[in-house]
Amino acid sequence: MFQLTDVPRVLPELLVIVLALLVLGSDIFERWADTEAARRERVRSSASLAAIGLGMIFAIALLQSGYVYRLPEDAAVNIFTNILRNLQSGGPGGAALVGAFATDHLTMIARLLLIGGALLAVLLTLDDAPTANPGEFYALILFSTAGMCLMAGATEFIIAFLAIELTSIPLYILAGYYRNEPRASEAGMKYFLFGALSSAILLYGMSLAYGASVAALVGTSAANDLTQFARVAQVAAETGTAASILTLGMLFIIGGVGYKVAVVPFHAWAPDVYQGAPLPITAFIATASKAAGFILLYRLLITAFPQLAGSAALDAEFGGWAGVLTILGLLTLIIGNLAALPQTNVRRLLAYSSIAQAGFIVMALVA
């Protein structure tokens, strides 16, 4: 249930979506001719609106976080301090959407990282500008950015899955945006097919975790809010829910998110997509998209499956998701670096380098 008090807590995401609609709508009024100069003007207008809007939203998110300036409690009452006080009321602490979205420090930092990454991607497109339908191009970047911000703060299965799809579907289109180029078409199709498979795997893992919790509480009045990460962990701790079903669900979730962040053995799509997608989109996928995926994976494992953490120590206690991530991280480091050695294309080389770097991040999650 969306309440009025939730607006400050999800304000950056709402503003990004509104900006996307503005960019999409403003492009209609720029179609005054079909000449090369007119197309270039449309690109400049759409890119400028997107960049200025993202810069303003970044500033708003920074003020809201309180990392630069925190309004004193005894500040003089005027229109500016009231606006800032209302803005910072949605800062770190608390939750929105009936607990389905966390507004903690991790969410605040993720917003700054993801919105900043989108701003850099928009600025990069000025040298590789899409002359056909630029409004759609930049609106897709913005919709994907909104999805990434929602991914970073999601604490509930439905919100998390919808955020992943809001992130992924625009990226599928952007990867194959230059559809007249064979490599771009291949990149878009491969990204879509692998993304659809990963979404199905992730959704199945979520359904197993949800189903195990429902089965544990069948016939009671406490079977509510079971789609929330923390509630799944609470039910498992209180009722001794079958660890085998939860473990299977956890493995499917790791596999589904593993495709999104391109860790071995879920990395096969990355080199072709990095090579065929427009360069700014490649950079956007390699940075912002992966960051959002790792943050979501962290929330899922820490909040929903703390009882299945296990240990990464090479002894009798080795196991759980810590052990799984340790194995995946080591494989990603080794295979990513070795596969990069014979590459002759710079983008494919960077793709395997990005895969190897994902291994370092996985090891950091284990730590």
Q: What is the pLDDT of residues 292-303, one digit of tens each?
A: 999 999 999 999
Grade residue 204 by pLDDT with cuts at 50, 70 and 90: very high
Q: What is the pLDDT of residues 1-19, one digit of tens each?
A: 566 777 888 889 999 999 9
Mean pLDDT, residues 104-118 taken together: 92
Mean pLDDT, residues 257-261 taken together: 90
pTM of the predicted protein model: 0.90
More confident residue, 261 or 131: 261
pLDDT for position 175: 87
Quote the mean pLDDT of the chain.
Answer: 85
pLDDT for position 131: 64
Q: Alpha-carbon distance 254 to 139, whole Å?
A: 30
Grade residue 218 by pLDDT with cuts at 50, 70 and 90: low
* Residue 190 near residue 273, CB atoms below 8 Å: yes
pLDDT for position 211: 85
pLDDT for position 222: 61
Mean pLDDT, residues 92-118 taken together: 86
Grade residue 119 by pLDDT with cuts at 50, 70 and 90: very high
Mean pLDDT, residues 236-240 taken together: 75
Q: What is the pLDDT of residues 18-56, one digit of tens each?
A: 999 999 888 877 776 677 777 777 888 888 899 999 999
Q: Alpha-carbon distance 298 to 323, whole Å?
A: 15
- In the chain, domain spans: 1-153
pLDDT exceeds 70 at position 330:
yes
